[in-house]
Amino acid sequence: MKKTSIVGGGLHFGINTLTQPFFALYAAQLGASTASIGGMLTLKAVLPLLIALPAGQLIDRLGAPQLMRWGNRITILSLALMVWSPNLLLLTLSQLLIGAGTMIVASSLQVIVSEGDKAERERNITRYSAWCSGGSMVGPLVGGAAVSAVSALRLEGWLGALTDGYRTAFLIALFAALLFGALFRWASRHVRPDPGFGAQLRTVFQPREIADSYLKGIHLVRSPGIQFGLLGTFLIHFIQSIWIGFFPLYLDMLGYSAFVISVLVSLRGLAGMVSRMFIGRLTRRWSHQALLIGAGCAAAVCLLLLPGMGWHAAAVGAVSLLIGAAVGINMPVSTMIMVEDAMGDRGKIMGLRLLANRSSQVAAPMLFGLVGQLLGLAAAFYAGGAMLLAAMLGFSVYHRTRGAAVAIKQRVEVEK
């Protein structure tokens, strides 16, 4: 089951990156404005914000396999809505559902993969992250090929609307989710469903229990390692949500074809997969904290550089590669830090991690949607990059100041 979960990370990310780069383009074809697209992408993170920690608590109580199955079912339903949605209302509902489904799937897979001793855990997390990057690379290419093929048929008179190409990409993602569900069900066939699942679900999602799970989560945030992991997760996923949601829209405005856009998006996944090969060397040379800060600063600078390079495909590709390398380093390193600091609460830790992830997915579309609507997408990239760079540098100063204060305190206690 652990090997299936590692490979499943690739399928899961492939499904996400197959659909999300074309979701904004599809919504725009149906008549949505930039601000409306930002609102829809924000809704994707709203439900996970409310259920992230309760879902983590359910994983700890009932086990990750059972929650993984339910998360995949929700994902399948949301993809079906994307394929057959005739209007923006159902398309908006699909974003609410896919946010919850992917959050549950990702949390469950990471809990399964992070089992075992430290050496096995870090090895499996690195492999899982590499598969995720592979999925992030292949997904946009498959989607771009589907959209381009359908567009070619449309020009020949076989199909009638440009939106048919986007729906074909969503349909491929739906079949991939069905395949993944079948494979995982076979791999976890020895895990019996908990007969008390319904009762546990009702208990965990009571208002009092939800509040209690968030209070316990806040208690875990006191750990410096978890603070670093959450910050790295928030900032990198902020950038990643922008890259997946608005980067294709920006390139489309500049006149790039769907296939070229898919290639440029997939370069991020390629760089992420390659960067995982050097994680061991990097962690031996630098601390996890230094790697997270460096990756965050590099990704923020990429956002600042993009508007000035938008007309040069090779330059855009270089920026995409650098963003991918930063994300590729961040994902396994932030997970290693957080799991190491709270081994007994892996479900809650992954819930916290996904909470930070979804918080960034609320903030990013809101900022980009509003600034992009008022001042243009180029200004939105400048604003997002400047904000993230300031946040990373500020946290770096805070970490150094706090570390110095702790060292002085320890020295004084020793002298006493």
pLDDT tens digits for range 241-286? 777 777 888 888 888 887 888 888 888 878 877 887 788 788 888 8
Share of the chain above pLDDT 70, in %: 80
Neighbours of 86 (CB within 10 A): 8
Beta-carbon contacts of 4 under 8 Å, excluding residues fewer than 6 positions away, are: 183, 184, 187, 188
Q: What is the pLDDT of residue 217?
A: 64
Q: How many CB atoms lie within 10 A of CB 20?
A: 25
What integer is the mean pLDDT of 108-123?
78
CA 215/CA 344 separation, integer angstroms: 17
Whether 156 shows a pLDDT value over 70: the answer reads no
Q: Is 206 left (phi over 0), alpha (psi -120 to 50) or beta?
A: beta
Alpha helices in 254-345 (DSSP H): 258-275, 279-285, 288-309, 313-341
pLDDT at 251: 84
Res 412 pLDDT > 70: no
45-88, pLDDT tens digit by residue? 777 777 777 777 777 777 778 888 888 999 999 999 988 877 78
The model's confidence at residue 325, banded by pLDDT at 50, 70 and 90, is: confident
Average pLDDT over residues 116-123: 75
**pTM beyond 0.85, yes or no:** no
DSSP code at position 138: H
Domain, as residue range, for 324: 2-415
Distance CA(359)–CA(336), nearest Å, equals 21
Read off the pLDDT of residues 284-303 as tens digits, 9 standing for 90 and up. 888 877 888 888 888 888 88
- More confidently predicted of 310 and 16: 16
Report the C-alpha dihedral over residues 210, 241, 345, 393, rounded to 10 degrees.
Answer: -110
Residue 164: is its pLDDT beyond 80? no
Distance, in Å, from the CA atom of 381 to the CA atom of 297, rounded to the nearest integer, reads: 15
**CATH code of residue 201:** 1.20.1250.20
| pLDDT for the residue 214 | 66
Instruction: Read off the amino acid at residue 169.
Output: A
Alpha-carbon distance values, 347 to 47, 251, 334 (Å) = 18, 38, 15
Averaged confidence pLDDT in the chain: 77
Out of 12-16, 95-99, 193-197, least confident range: 193-197
| pLDDT reading at 399 higher than 70 | no
Residue-wise pLDDT for 177-207, tens only, equals 999 888 888 887 777 766 666 666 666 666 6
For residue 387, is pLDDT > 70? yes
What tens digit of pLDDT does each residue of 327-357 get?
A: 888 777 777 777 665 555 666 676 677 777 7
Residue 18 and residue 139 in contact, taking contact as beta carbons nearer than 8 Å = yes
Q: Work out the average pLDDT over 126-142.
A: 81
The number of folded domains in the chain is 1
